[in-house]
Structure 1
Amino acid sequence: MSFIVYIIFSGKLDRYYIGYTTDIGKRIIEHNSGASAFTSKATDWVLKWKKHFTSRELAMQEERRIKAKKSRKYIEYLVGQR
């Protein structure tokens, strides 16, 4: 099973969201349908970046590492690496 760390963006809120999942398509639908509390304020979430991991632990470490930077500039750097 593959775990995916992802970054999505809402133009309406001008905000990024970082998370991890095993099913990126399903997860984006959940974000855009209001099923996730933090992202329920918008319905225009778009996938901007993703990275695959072989274990949940590695994915969680990467998610925490990105979030710990508390930096929009760093997130935009990652997103720009496509």
Structure 2
Amino acid sequence: MYVTYVLYSFKYNRLYIGYTSDLINRFKSHQQLATKGFTVKYRPWFVIEVCCFNTKKEAMEKENYFKSGHGRDFIRNQILPRYF
């Protein structure tokens, strides 16, 4: 199983979008283990959306959608308001 996930940094008002087959370890990497890269700068992260798929291709397609302008608008207008 593959998942597409959206992370949000409330402190910095930043989004991070990715996909993986191991969400727990990937999140742990973003949150604690990584020593360089985008996610290190904007900790702490919170998982605000997870979409599950049977294939890597489907997960990648959803990731690409979320990274598009329409997808980011969807996240900001439909997903983020749940947390405020």
The aligned residue for residue 49 of structure 2 is 49
In structure 2, relative to structure 1, the CA distance for the partners of 1:72 and 1:55 (3 Å cut) is: closer
Whole-Å Cα distance in 2 between the matches of residues 30 and 55 of structure 1?
Answer: 23
The aligned residue for residue 28 of structure 1 is 27
- The number of residues matched between the two structures is 80
Structure with greater helix share of residues = 2
In structure 2, relative to structure 1, the CA distance for the partners of 1:21 and 1:80 (3 Å cut) is: farther
TM-score by length of 2: 0.80
Where 1:39 maps in the other structure, the secondary structure is helix
In structure 2, relative to structure 1, the CA distance for the partners of 1:68 and 1:18 (3 Å cut) is: same
TM-score by length of 1: 0.82
Displacement over 6 Å in runs of 4+ = none
Stretches of structure 2 that go unaligned for 5 or more consecutive residues are none
Contact 2:66 2:72 (8 Å CA) reproduced: no
